């Protein structure tokens, strides 16, 4: 047993902690629904102003449709970074920097990321 597992009370505790980290990395259905609500809200995320998203009405066509997002962004953190400020990856991006300009809160960005990643 390592010193880390001894301090936490053994291997079982360490495994339980690791399982908890994996579980918390997955978005709940409630988080995805909350993210969708923000993304579709014309006064908040307003993703439909530019993107086509399944289930959205009056979608824009100036940005790529949001489909197959896990394939496009295997690293969910990179998707979040893109939503937070797309100009970091592409200085010529026309996407508003949702985090840098405080259009959305950090929690709202997390929820929108969960929703977009589920597409």
pTM of the model as a whole = 0.76
CATH number 1.10.760.10 given to 28-117? yes
Q: What mean pLDDT comes out for the span 30-41? A: 96
Crossing angle of the two packed helices 106-117 and 76-84, in degrees rounded to 10: 130
- Note the pLDDT tens digit of each residue in 89-107: 999 999 999 999 999 999 9
Q: How confident is the model at residue 25 (pLDDT cuts 50, 70, 90)?
A: low
- Note the pLDDT tens digit of each residue in 45-103: 899 999 999 999 888 889 999 999 999 999 999 999 999 999 999 999 999 999 999 99
Q: Which pLDDT value is given to residue 59?
A: 84
- Quick one: which of 42, 65, 67 has its CA closest to 52? 65
SS3 content of the chain, % helix, strand, coil (to 5): 50, 0, 50
| CA 103/CA 32 separation, integer angstroms | 19
């Amino acid at each position: 047993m390592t010193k880390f597992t001894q301090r936490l009370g053994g291997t079982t505790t360490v495994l339980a902690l690791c399982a908890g980290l994996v579980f918390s990395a997955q978005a709940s259905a409630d988080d995805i629904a909350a993210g969708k609500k923000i993304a579709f809200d014309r006064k908040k995320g307003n993703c439909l102003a530019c993107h086509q998203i399944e289930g959205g009405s009056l979608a824009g066509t100036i940005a790529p449709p949001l489909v197959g997002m896990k394939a496009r962004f295997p690293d969910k953190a990179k998707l979040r970074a893109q939503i937070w400020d797309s100009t970091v990856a592409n200085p010529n991006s026309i996407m508003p920097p949702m985090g840098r300009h405080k259009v959305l809160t950090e929690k709202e960005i997390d929820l929108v990321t969960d929703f977009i990643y589920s597409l």
